[in-house]
């Protein structure tokens, strides 16, 4: 029996572990990582620290925990303040954890369409010295690279270093939410350690575009990671034979960083194809990495209805608007073409249903319809 084709465009978090990952998990040499004894975890953390150009690294269960641990490590006094984008993942999608659990106050600065924050606005957001009686104390600046809500846009090394200089000159730390930092590195053609050189800490998700089943890594100085280990344990993120997961993460980094450029190419192909369907619009020039932001320009088509019809064709998409479609290495060129065919069919199907409803409404208004009694 033929396997159904399912094209899952909801996120790059939906990938399944490869056979190489499963084999490495089964063969992993493990021990108790809470005690620092798991050899596979130690080896992977050392590899990631070296790759990112930092002294040390720590594996954590999720990107949300990675960001939370990092913010709390830098802002270890309650009433600290962090400057971050108003459209950033930490601010919008991580349950307000920095405030709820850490007593850290967010000071938001408007994100531009390219994911940056204006340098002058960052400087203006830093609290003046001597204002402790009235204000929180600024201790941290956070950037996001790539920037998810801006369509996967990349922050340049030059921009990041400008922010890093501001942080340093004011005695602040700089954290980068680098959930998709490898996508940025590949798209910009800049080594990943160069992109994060100005940062005091970076969180790197291994279970998004890189395709591991679980986990993120945070990197920074040895002193930072020592604090992060305690916070990870406090938050319930200490795991025992975690080498099983680190083995898969190692394979993901080894095998899939080299596939990211292909994901970006397929995202461009999807964007170009959607632009040929008159009911949709994509700013193709804004597609820098593996995300496509789709606007529905026909008011007769709702995002929810579109997703429902696509689902009947085994094309999965999230109904958020503007619609975000995310490519990953388990979506092929044929899958992209199939998805485009389904988007076109779905639009036609929804417009046909809308036309039939309009016709029925016209008949009702003209009094030409009859009930079952002929009245």
Local structure of 105: helix, strand or coil: strand
pLDDT band at 129 (very low <50, low <70, confident <90, very high): confident
Encoding tokens for residue 90?
């930490």
What is the Cα–Cα distance from 145 to 88, expressed in whole angstroms? 10
Of residues 1 and 185, more confidence is placed in 185
Q: Buried b vs exposed e over 282-312: b needs ≥16 C-beta within 10 Å?
A: beeebbbbbbbbbebeeeebebebbbebbee
Please indicate, yes or no, whether residues 197 and 274 belong to a single structural domain of this protein.
no
Please state the domain count of the chain: 2
Which H helix or E strand runs over 173?
strand 173-178
Please indicate, yes or no, whether residues 248 and 127 belong to a single structural domain of this protein.
yes
Residues 241-291 have pLDDT tens digits of: 999 999 999 999 999 999 999 999 999 999 999 999 999 999 998 999 999
Residues 306-354 have pLDDT tens digits of: 999 999 999 999 887 568 999 999 999 999 999 999 999 999 999 987 5
Q: What is the pLDDT of residue 368?
A: 46
% of the chain surpassing 90 pLDDT: 88
Note whether residue 289 is domain-resident: yes
CB of 26 within 8 A of CB of 348? no
| Torsion sign, CA atoms 161, 166, 172, 177 | negative
Of residues 133 and 344, more confidence is placed in 344
Please indicate, yes or no, whether residues 192 and 318 belong to a single structural domain of this protein.
no
Note whether residue 374 is domain-resident: no
Q: What is the pLDDT of residue 371?
A: 40
User: Which range is least confidently modeled, 62-71, 133-142, 199-208?
Assistant: 133-142
Note whether residue 1 is domain-resident: no
Encoding tokens for residue 253?
């980094």
Please indicate, yes or no, whether residues 99 and 247 belong to a single structural domain of this protein.
yes
Q: Which residues contact 64 (CB under 8 A, 6 or more apart)?
A: 94, 95, 97
What is the Cα–Cα distance from 367 to 336, expressed in whole angstroms? 47
> Which among 204, 217, 227, 237 is positioned nearest to 71, based on CA atoms?
227
Please indicate, yes or no, whether residues 202 and 343 belong to a single structural domain of this protein.
no
| Ordered DSSP codes for 309-355 | HHHHTTEE----SSEEEE--TTS-HHHHHHHHHHHHHHHHHHHHHHH
pLDDT band at 357 (very low <50, low <70, confident <90, very high): very low
CA 358 to chain centre: 40
**The last residue of a domain, from among 256, 289, 310:** 256
Burial (0-12, 13-18, 19+ Cβ within 10 Å), 345: middle
What is the Cα–Cα distance from 240 to 40, expressed in whole angstroms? 12
Mean pLDDT over 367-371 rounds to 46
Note whether residue 3 is domain-resident: no
Q: Is the pLDDT of residue 106 over 90?
A: yes
Average pLDDT, the chain: 92
pLDDT band at 3 (very low <50, low <70, confident <90, very high): low
Please indicate, yes or no, whether residues 108 and 161 belong to a single structural domain of this protein.
yes
Note whether residue 295 is domain-resident: yes
Q: What is the pLDDT of residue 232?
A: 97
Note whether residue 86 is domain-resident: yes
Please indicate, yes or no, whether residues 252 and 272 belong to a single structural domain of this protein.
no
Please indicate, yes or no, whether residues 252 and 264 belong to a single structural domain of this protein.
no
Please indicate, yes or no, whether residues 66 and 200 belong to a single structural domain of this protein.
yes
Q: Find the domain containing 235 and state its range.
A: 18-256
Looking up residue 331, the CATH number of its domain turns out to be: 3.90.1150.10
Looking up residue 82, the CATH number of its domain turns out to be: 3.40.640.10
Residues 164-216 have pLDDT tens digits of: 999 999 999 999 999 999 999 999 999 999 999 999 999 999 999 999 999 99
> Which among 165, 164, 171, 163 is positioned nearest to 80, based on CA atoms?
171
Q: Which residues contact 345 (CB under 8 A, 6 or more apart)?
A: 309, 313
Please indicate, yes or no, whether residues 89 and 181 belong to a single structural domain of this protein.
yes
Q: What is the pLDDT of residue 322?
A: 60
Q: What is the pLDDT of residue 42?
A: 97
Note whether residue 10 is domain-resident: no
Distances (CA, A) of 28 to 22, 41, 47, 52: 10, 10, 16, 24
Q: What is the pLDDT of residue 188?
A: 98
> Which among 179, 9, 151 is positioned nearest to 87, based on CA atoms?
151
Q: Are strands 7-8 and 315-316 parallel, antiparallel or unpaired?
A: parallel
Please indicate, yes or no, whether residues 304 and 211 belong to a single structural domain of this protein.
no
pLDDT band at 374 (very low <50, low <70, confident <90, very high): very low
Q: Is the pLDDT of residue 21 over 70?
A: yes
Please indicate, yes or no, whether residues 342 and 244 belong to a single structural domain of this protein.
no
């Amino acid at each position: 029996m033929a396997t159904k084709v399912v094209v899952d465009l909801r996120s790059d978090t939906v990938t399944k572990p490869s056979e190489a990952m499963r084999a490495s998990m089964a063969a992993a040499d493990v021990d108790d990582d809470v005690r620092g004894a798991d050899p596979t975890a130690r080896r992977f953390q050392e590899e990631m620290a070296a790759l990112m150009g930092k002294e040390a690294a720590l594996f954590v269960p999720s990107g949300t925990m990675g960001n939370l641990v990092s913010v709390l490590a830098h802002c270890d006094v309650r009433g600290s303040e962090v400057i971050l984008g108003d459209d950033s993942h930490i601010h919008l999608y991580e349950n307000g954890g920095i405030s709820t659990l850490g007593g850290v106050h967010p000071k938001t600065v408007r994100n531009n369409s390219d994911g940056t924050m204006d340098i002058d606005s960052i400087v203006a957001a830093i609290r003046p010295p001597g204002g402790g009686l009235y204000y929180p104390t600024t201790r941290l600046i956070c950037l996001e690279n790539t920037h998810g809500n801006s369509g996967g846009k990349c922050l340049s090394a030059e921009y990041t270093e400008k922010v890093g200089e501001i942080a340093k000159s004011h005695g602040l730390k700089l954290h980068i939410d680098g959930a998709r930092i490898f996508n940025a590195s590949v798209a910009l053609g800049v080594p990943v350690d160069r992109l994060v050189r100005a940062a005091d800490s970076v969180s790197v998700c291994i279970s998004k575009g890189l395709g591991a089943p679980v986990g993120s890594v945070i990197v920074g100085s040895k002193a930072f990671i020592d604090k992060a280990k305690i916070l990870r344990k406090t938050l319930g993120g200490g795991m025992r034979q975690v080498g099983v997961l680190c083995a898969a993460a190692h394979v993901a980094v080894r095998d899939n960083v080299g596939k990211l450029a292909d994901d970006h190419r397929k995202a461009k192909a999807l964007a170009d194809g959607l632009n040929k369907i008159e009911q949709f619009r994509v700013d193709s020039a804004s597609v820098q990495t593996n995300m496509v932001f789709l606007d529905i320009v026909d008011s007769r088509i709702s995002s929810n209805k579109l997703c429902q019809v696509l689902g009947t064709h085994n094309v999965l998409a999230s109904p958020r608007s503007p619609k975000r479609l995310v490519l990953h290495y388990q979506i092929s060129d044929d899958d992209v073409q199939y998805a485009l065919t389904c988007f076109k069919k779905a639009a036609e199907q929804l417009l046909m249903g809308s036309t039939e409803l309009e016709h029925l409404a016209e008949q009702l208004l003209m009094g030409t319809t009859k009930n079952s009694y002929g009245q």
